[in-house]
Structure 1
C-alpha cells in the first residue's frame, strides 16, 4: 500500500516513558509487556535498522490469514514471517461468514487494495469454538439460530449446524477440518474472489488462490488440506493426464 505512516510526536498523551504510564505502574503484567516491547524494538533497531524505514512506507503482504482467535495460534510466529508480511483476520473458530460485513470488507480490502495473492483459512486442533459447537444440540425445525440467547452461540450457529450434518461417529477433529472447508467455500463464493477470478481469466488481474490448512498444537506443524482453489484448477504436474504415453 502507498499509505505512509507518519511518526508519532511526543505530547502529554504520547509518552514512551513507562514511569508515566498509569497502567504500567499499577499492573505488573502490563509493565512486563511494555518492557518486552522496548526490548524488542531495541533488538530490531540494532540488528535490522532498515525495518522501520520499510514499515512506514506501507504494506504489501502476500498472505491473508483467516484464523482462530486462540492465543496459541499466532500466525506470524508459526509462519516464520515478519511484520508486514501477513494480513490477518482472527475470530472464534476461524470463520468466514458470508453475511458478516466485517469479514467481507476485510477480504475485499486485502485483495483489491493491499495486494494479497493467497487467502489461507487455518483451523487448529483443540479449537474451543468447535468443541463448544460439537456439544450443543441441533436447532429445532424452522429455528433461525440454535440458541439466540448469547453472541457466542449465535456466532457458532453455522458450525453447530455443520456438526449435525456430519456422518454419525464423526469426532471433534472431523468437525474442525470440515469447518475449515466450509469457510474456504464461503471465501471462494464471495463477490470479491469471484470478481478477482473473472478478471484474472481475462488477464486483467493477478491470480488469487484460496487455501485450507490445519495447525497441530501438539507438533507446531501446519498441514495443507489440499483444497486449494484458484481461477484455474490447481494441480501438480504429476497429476496431469498423460498424452500418448508421455507426461
Structure 2
C-alpha cells in the first residue's frame, strides 16, 4: 500500500493574489502530480476589498456588506422587502466559477433577477447532481424562460486542460471533459497555429457543447414539449455567450454545429413555420388524449 504524502501546502496571499497548491505522489504514474497555480487579476481595486493581513481577510467582507445594505436602502427603501418575499427570475445562468465573471455584475442585473449555478469551465454533465438539481428547479418550478451558458476567454479551466500535467483527482477527472471537447473538434483546433487563438476557440466550443448537453436533457425536453402548444415559442430558450475579461464585453455565439441546419432557431420562431405549426396541432391532439 502506498502512502499519500503531502509535499507542499496551500498558500494564499493577503490580497488573494496567488494560490499555490500541493504536490502529491501519483499512485499509478510514479511521479508527482502538480496542481495549477492560479492568480487573481483584481487584487485591489478602488471601492473594493483591501486585505492588509491574513487576520484581516474576513472582517472587510462583513463591513462591505453593511455598506452595501445602507446603499441599497438609501436608493430603494423597499428593496429588501421585495427580495425577501419574491423569487421569480426568468433566466437560469450556467457560468464559470472564476471570480472575474460574476453573472449579475456583468449584465447589470439586480439580486433576484438571475438564478445562477457556476462551476469550473462551465461544464454541463448529466451526473453533476448540483447543476442538475438547480436546473430542474429552474425549469420545472421557477419556469425560467431562458437558459444562458456563459464561458469566458482567459479561462483557467481551459488552460489547465491544455496542459500535459496529470493533476490530482478530482480536478483531473473534471478537466478531462474539456479535453474530450478538444478531441471532438481536434481538426478545427489543430488547424489554428496561434496558441492563444486556439484557446479562445476551445472556450467557444466548450460553451457550444454545454448548450447541446443542456438541450438534450430530459428536464429541458419535457419542458419544451409542454410549453410548445401554449406559447409563441417553446421555452426555455438556450443561449451561448462568451465573456471577454479584457474588455467586459459579452458576446453571443451560435451553439449548433457548423454546416448543420438550424433546428433550434426554427424551434424558437416556429409560429411562422407552417410545418412546425402542423406538428403543434398533432401534439395538441395527443395531449387531449
| Same fold (TM > 0.5) | yes
In structure 1, list runs of 5 or more residues that go unmatched. 1-25, 138-146, 241-247
Q: In structure 2, the residue corresponding to 1:213 is in which secondary structure?
A: strand
Which residue is equivalent to 1:100? 128
The number of residue pairs the alignment matches comes to: 206
Q: Check whether the contact 1:134–1:175 (CA below 8 A) recurs between aligned residues.
A: no
Which deviations, in whole Å up to 9, do the C-alpha atoms of 1:75-98 show, x marking residues without a partner?
Answer: 100010000001011000011112
Q: Check whether the contact 1:209–1:231 (CA below 8 A) recurs between aligned residues.
A: no
Which deviations, in whole Å up to 9, do the C-alpha atoms of 1:95-142 show, x marking residues without a partner?
Answer: 1112222221111100111231110000000000011112248xxxxx
Which residue is equivalent to 1:59? 87
Q: Check whether the contact 1:197–1:231 (CA below 8 A) recurs between aligned residues.
A: no
State the 1:233 CA deviation: 2.7
Which deviations, in whole Å up to 9, do the C-alpha atoms of 1:137-183 show, x marking residues without a partner?
Answer: 8xxxxxxxxx6851011011111121133222341111111000010
If the length of structure 1 is used for normalisation, what is the TM-score? 0.76
Q: In 2 relative to 1, CA 186–226 (structure 1 residues): closer, same or farther, beyond 3 Å?
A: same
Which residue is equivalent to 2:267? 233
Which residue is equivalent to 1:154? 173
| Residue 110 of structure 1, aligned match among 138, 146, 153 | 138
Which residue is equivalent to 2:50? none
1:185 aligns with 2:196: no
Which residue is equivalent to 2:70? 42
State the 1:206 CA deviation: 6.3
Aligned CA RMSD, in angstroms, stands at 2.8
| Residue 223 of structure 2, aligned match among 196, 201, 216 | 196
Q: In 2 relative to 1, CA 231–178 (structure 1 residues): closer, same or farther, beyond 3 Å?
A: closer
Which residue is equivalent to 1:14? none
Q: In 2 relative to 1, CA 130–148 (structure 1 residues): closer, same or farther, beyond 3 Å?
A: closer
Between the two structures, name the one with larger relative contact order (CA 8 Å, sep ≥ 6). 1
Measure the CA separation in 2 of the matches of 1:149 and 1:38. Answer: 39
Measure the CA separation in 1 of the matches of 2:128 and 2:100. Answer: 25
In structure 2, list runs of 5 or more residues that go unmatched. 1-53, 193-197, 257-262, 274-289
